[in-house]
């Protein structure tokens, strides 16, 4: 069902500082950065091999990432699995009793179809499914 | 300095249950599993694209992963970056003021040279550096 780790997301308070710090430590630069208003985040995608490290900074305190930071502080936020067919993946997960945050896919960054799977489903881990648009 | 996400690690209480559950949800199977006594973990590596999802279960409560589970419960534990030269990477990180858990590389699973970078270094995120052995 999954063919790649699309990205691993890290929640940060200050995006400019985090990008600069990650560059100095690991020599890696974001390929792009965008505000995803629907999710209330500023996201930066740093390519690493065939995947990305995604930095997430909240656009406001009262957003999912804002609340995560208030509760946990900065740190690992979720893993995103690339899937070929997100609707089929959601059907399969539903049939296995998964608890879904998004019952149907919605549009995320890069014009991808995305859906989140609740951390109660597997090992306290927030999972995002990503179906990338055809090029 | 980094050329791939080698793996993303998830701490779990019960390895057999976690492997089975992950298989049912995502159809992905571990390529191998081994006890790494030095780190006090049972680790299973599930290939996903060019990376792995690593499941970590503690061999005893009084181990780093055992203490993580007691404090945080199951969840995302660390990201591992593959580097071509771990000694050079540690020198570079040290020159940037990074706080290192391992000042010099040691041997981890798969016979890799590994070192951990303290979460205080970047965004509360535990980072592992991995230099894979030549095939």
- The 10s digit of each residue's pLDDT in A107-130 is 988 889 999 999 999 999 999 999
- Dihedral of CA atoms A57, A61, A64, A67 in degrees, nearest 10, equals 110
Q: Please give the share of chain A, as a percent, with pLDDT higher than 70.
A: 99
Of the candidates A39, A43, A77, A131, the residue annotated as catalytic is: A43
> Could you count the other beta carbons within 10 Å of the beta carbon of residue B23?
13
Per residue in A31-86, pLDDT (tens digit) is 999 999 988 999 999 999 999 999 999 999 999 999 999 999 999 999 999 999 99
B16 in helix, strand or coil? helix
What is the domain-level CATH number for residue A53? 3.10.180.10
Domain count, chain A: 1
Q: What pLDDT sits at residue A110?
A: 83
- Print the domain residue range for B45: 4-131
B107 token code pair? 């041997």
* Interface list for chain B against chain A, based on CB atoms closer than 8 Å: 1-5, 8, 10-12, 18, 21-22, 24-28, 48-51, 53, 55, 72-79, 81-82, 92-93, 96, 98, 119, 121-125
User: Which portions of chain B are predicted below pLDDT 70?
Assistant: 135
How long a stretch of residues is chain A? 135
**Is the CB of B1 less than 8 angstroms away from the CB of A79?**
no
* Stated pTM of the model: 0.96
> Catalytic: which of A22, A39, A77, A78?
A78
């Amino acid at each position: 069902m999954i063919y790649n780790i699309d990205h691993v997301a890290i929640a940060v308070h200050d995006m400019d500082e985090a990008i600069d710090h990650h560059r100095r430590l690991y020599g890696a630069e974001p390929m792009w950065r965008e505000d995803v208003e629907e999710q209330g985040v500023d996201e930066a995608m740093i390519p690493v091999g065939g995947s990305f490290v995604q930095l997430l900074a909240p656009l406001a305190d009262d957003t999912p990432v804002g609340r995560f930071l208030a509760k946990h502080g900065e740190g690992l936020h979720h893993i995103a699995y690339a899937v070929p067919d997100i609707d089929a993946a959601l059907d399969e997960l539903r049939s296995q009793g998964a608890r879904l945050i998004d019952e149907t896919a919605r549009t995320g960054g890069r014009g991808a179809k995305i859906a989140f799977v609740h951390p109660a489903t597997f090992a306290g881990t927030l999972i995002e499914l990503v179906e990338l648009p055809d090029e």
